[in-house]
């Protein structure tokens, strides 16, 4: 401002016909000098603004969720359930529940004498049709005898369970109402890590509570047999949030809040949501037929890590490594073999094992699928006819460890001690394998090989005896990575072991 006033004074002096300044400079030159200073100051003043505009938008402004909550909050509902369990300990010690503490699950509170204990639980849901179809979690309502839905205007409705899908943890319930507010459905494929998201639900029964955070990861596999590519966020979710919607900044639902990772039972900064596109596919089938039909080809697969990639001559860790092919399955009929790495299905890339399971599950049974495989260092394609996935019967799998006095042989190259399985043991554990691991050390222990593992093959070479194992190990140089196909607890998987 001082520079501007000085220049203005010079201009006034020129207009008044004043004489040159004391230093002998002409008025015109003083004007030029003043204007140059004005330009320099203007450039200096613009620099912070330019720097500010160059900063990422997320660093310049925080999102305002008020409009989103006002517009769609009424479509989020509270879900109360009443049911019965066989006993107070009926929920058991399921490993996935221990690792990912679900919330809103009914807990026993006692019941009538001589009957199963009465349970009460709570969760959340959101309305997807004006006539009362509501999405929530299967673990909230799947075992309920009574379901009550409470709206934000305090109206309550009894709800009917249309269907529940345990694999995706998605359920559909229906209330008898009309002209209800509904949410807008988005596309989770457009989500990016770091993007702001908002959850609305009923944590601890506090209806219509909004919590915000960011997307921590997309397509997260949590194991435990779940085929869902979860959305991971750091949004605060707690007991009662289960089944509630996860919104993006456009006000679109992109997921259903389903589980958290916790060592305490409460929120610890990691939560997971079922992508809404997966949930809507389930909803469509549940509404139409009351069940979900999925495709299967009959293979057991695992992720490919760096060591396995080297063992199978892959350029990088990718794809789904086939560790087991079910006899008589579509995969076996098509020629798929253990050791094949599935890199794509119908032109869609398979980056990890969960991608294969999800893609095949979404193919209509009876349809053909083209598998892009990597076998023995070469790419090839196979056509397989997709069958219908049936829920497997639960069966206890056992394995018998070695007993004192039984003969073992050491393979120092692989760092294991093994022995031959007796015919009685093979029958007891129902295995085709012949060599069982007794002790592990060194690289085998670091790779995760365990006593009791049954070795079926080494680098696709079948192992039917200790001699077969030794011959396969002798082909390895020091530091080479060997892919051991093992059977563990009734399942098959590859373990990469570096030779010593």
Residues belonging to the active site: 139, 169, 242
Dihedral of CA atoms 487, 498, 356, 276 in degrees, nearest 10, equals 100
Gyration radius from the chain CA atoms? 32
Q: Taking Cα atoms as reference points, which of 360, 293, 281 lies closest to residue 320?
A: 360
The token duo for 186 is: 């988005």
Alpha helices in 403-460 (DSSP H): 423-429, 442-447
Alpha helices in 173-226 (DSSP H): none
Other C-beta atoms closer than 10 Å to the C-beta of 178 total 7
Instruction: Tell me if 76 sits within 8 A of 153, measured CB to CB.
Output: no
Locus of tokens 């005896």: 465
- Separation of alpha carbons 418 and 250, rounded Å: 60
- Separation of alpha carbons 474 and 414, rounded Å: 10
- Separation of alpha carbons 362 and 220, rounded Å: 18
Instruction: Tell me if 152 sits within 8 A of 208, measured CB to CB.
Output: yes
CA 284 from centre of chain: 22
- Separation of alpha carbons 241 and 259, rounded Å: 9
Pairing of strands 252-260, 184-185: parallel
Instruction: Tell me if 318 sits within 8 A of 286, measured CB to CB.
Output: no
């Amino acid at each position: 401002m001082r520079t501007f006033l000085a220049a203005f004074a010079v201009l006034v002096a020129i207009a008044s016909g004043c004489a040159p300044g004391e230093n002998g400079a002409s008025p015109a030159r003083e004007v030029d000098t003043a204007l140059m200073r004005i330009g320099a100051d203007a450039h200096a003043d613009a620099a912070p603004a330019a720097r500010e505009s160059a900063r990422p938008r997320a660093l310049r402004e925080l999102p305002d969720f008020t409009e989103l909550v006002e517009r769609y909050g009424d479509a989020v509902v509270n879900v109360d359930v009443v049911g019965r369990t066989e006993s107070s300990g009926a929920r058991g010690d399921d490993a996935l529940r221990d690792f990912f503490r679900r919330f809103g699950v009914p807990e026993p509170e006692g019941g009538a004498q001589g009957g199963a204990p009465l349970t009460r639980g709570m969760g959340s849901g959101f309305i997807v049709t004006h006539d009362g179809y509501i999405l929530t979690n299967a673990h909230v309502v799947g075992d309920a005898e009574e379901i009550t839905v409470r709206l934000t205007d305090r109206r309550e409705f009894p709800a009917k369970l249309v269907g529940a899908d345990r694999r995706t943890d998605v359920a559909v319930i229906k209330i008898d109402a009309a002209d209800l507010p509904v949410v807008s459905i988005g596309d989770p494929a457009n989500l990016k890590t770091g993007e702001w998201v908002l959850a609305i639900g009923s944590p601890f029964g506090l209806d219509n509570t909004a919590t915000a955070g960011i997307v921590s990861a997309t397509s997260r596999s949590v194991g435990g047999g779940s085929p869902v590519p979860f959305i991971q966020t750091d949004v605060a979710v707690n007991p009662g949030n289960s089944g509630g919607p996860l919104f993006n900044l456009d006000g679109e639902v992109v997921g259903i809040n389903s589980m958290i990772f916790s060592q305490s039972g409460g929120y610890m900064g990691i939560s997971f949501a079922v992508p809404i596109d997966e949930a809507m596919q389930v909803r469509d089938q549940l509404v139409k037929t009351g069940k979900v039909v999925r495709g299967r080809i009959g293979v057991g697969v695992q992720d490919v890590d760096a060591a396995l990639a080297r063992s199978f001559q892959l350029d990088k860790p990718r794809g789904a490594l086939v560790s087991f092919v079910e006899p008589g399955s579509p995969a076996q009929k098509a020629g798929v073999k253990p050791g094949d790495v599935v890199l794509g299905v119908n032109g869609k890339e398979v980056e990890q094992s969960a991608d294969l399971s999800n893609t095949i599950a979404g193919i209509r049974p009876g349809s053909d699928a083209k598998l892009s495989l990597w076998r023995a260092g070469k790419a090839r394609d196979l056509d397989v006819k997709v069958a219908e996935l049936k829920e497997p019967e639960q069966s206890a799998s056992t394995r018998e460890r070695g007993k004192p006095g039984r003969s073992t042989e050491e393979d120092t190259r692989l760092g294991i001690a093994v022995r031959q399985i007796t015919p009685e043991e093979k029958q007891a554990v129902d295995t085709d394998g012949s060599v069982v691991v007794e002790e592990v050390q060194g690289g085998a222990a670091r790779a995760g090989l365990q006593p009791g593992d049954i070795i079926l093959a080494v680098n696709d070479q079948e192992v039917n005896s200790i001699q077969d194992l030794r011959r396969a190990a002798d082909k390895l140089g020091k530091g080479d990575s060997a892919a051991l196909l093992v059977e563990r607890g009734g399942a098959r998987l590859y373990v990469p072991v570096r030779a010593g």
